[in-house]
Copies of this chain bind each other. A is one copy, B any other.
Amino acid sequence: MKNNNEMLALFENYLAQMQLPEEPQLLYQPIIYAMSAGGKRIRPTLLLLSCEAFGGDVRDAMSAAAAVEMFHNFTLLHDDIMDNALVRRGKPSVYAEWGENVAILSGDAMMIYAYKLLRNVPDEKLPRIMDIFSEMALQVCEGQQYDMDFEHLKKVAVAEYMNMIELKTSVLLAGSAMIGAVMGGASEEDCRKIYRYALELGLAFQLQDDLLDSYGAEKVLGKKIGGDILEGKKTCLMLNAMSRATEQDREVLRHTHLDTSLSAEQKIARVKEVYDRYDIPHIINQQITTRFERALTILSTLDIPAERTVYLKEFAQNLMGREK
C-alpha cells in the first residue's frame, strides 16, 4: 500500500502525462495553466487512498481522480470570477490573466473534460460513479449559491452556515472518497461510511480554516490573520458569537469592520475580544475535535482490516495538521 506522499506522486505523474488538445489556445491554455498551478491535490489523493484501502488497483482509478481534481479547479475558475479574485495560489488567476470570457468558457470546458475523464472508469461502474459525481457537483453549486446568498442576509443561523460549508466544500471530499471506494469494490455500507468519514473531516477542516484565519500563527499560515474579521465575513466564529452575544456585543460584531475610525489591528482586536469573552475559540476547537475524532472512529468500523485504513488515518491527520 502507498502512503499519502507516494499516492500524491503517482497522481502528479499521471497528470503530467495527460494530453489536452492544443487548439483553440485560449480555451485549453488556461486549463493547463490552472491544472499545473499546484494545489494540494487533496481530493484525488483521498480518492486513490480510498480505492486502495478497499483493495482496488489505483491505476484504474487515476482517471476518476483526475476528474475530481479537474472539477475542483473548474469551480475555482468560476468562483474567482464571481469573487473578483485576481490571485490564486500566488499567481494571477485565470480570470486576471485572460479575462472573464476566457475564464467562463475554459471553466465550462474543464467541467465537460471532468466528465470525459470520469467516463474512463470500467463500464459496469460508470452509472454508479456518475450518480455520485453529478450529485456532488450539483451540491457544490448549491453551496456556492448559499454562500453568495449569505453575503446579503442580515441573519444567518449557525446550522445554515454548517449546511453551506458541507455543500460547498465537504461533499466534494466525501464524493471523492466514495468514488474511490466504489472503484475499490467496497460494499454499499462501507461506501456510505467512507462518505461520512470524509464529510466530517471536510467540516472539521473548514471550521479549522475559519478559526485559524483569526487565531492562527501568521508564520505557519503564511498570511496575515484577521482577514475574515476585516471583511466582516460570516464565519463560524462570527455566527456562533452572534448567537450567544448580548445585543450590545452583537452591534460590535456587526459594525466594527465598517468603523473607519479604527485601524485594522484595532478592528481585529475588538472583534476577538468579543469572541474571547464568549469562549468562541474554545467552542469551535471542541467542534473541530469532535468531528475529527468522529471521522477516525468511522474508519475503525469499516469492514476491512485495520491496517488497510492506516493511510486514510494519515490523510486525516495531514489535512488537519494534527499528530493524532
Interface size on A, residues (CB 8 A): 37
A115 near B142 with CB under 8 A, answer no
B126 near A24 with CB under 8 A, answer no
Question: Chain A, 138-170, contact with B by CB distance < 8 Å: what is the 0/1 string?
Answer: 100110111011000000000000000000000
Question: Chain A, 107-124, contact with B by CB distance < 8 Å: what is the 0/1 string?
Answer: 111011101100100010
**From A81, which residue of chain B is reached at the shortest CB distance?**
B104
A134-B146 contact in complex given A78-B105, A82-B105, C-beta closer than 8 Å: no
A145 near B115 with CB under 8 A, answer no
Chain A at the B interface: SS class: helix
B24 near A101 with CB under 8 A, answer no
**16 residue pairs A–B, Cβ–Cβ below 8 Å:** A23-B142, A26-B145, A27-B141, A78-B104, A104-B104, A105-B144, A105-B145, A109-B138, A109-B142, A111-B111, A112-B141, A113-B134, A115-B134, A116-B138, A123-B127, A130-B130
What residues of chain A have their CB less than 8 Å away from a CB belonging to chain B? Answer: 21, 23-24, 26-27, 78, 81-82, 100-101, 104-105, 107-109, 111-113, 115-116, 119, 123, 126-127, 130-131, 134-135, 137-138, 141-142, 144-146, 148-149
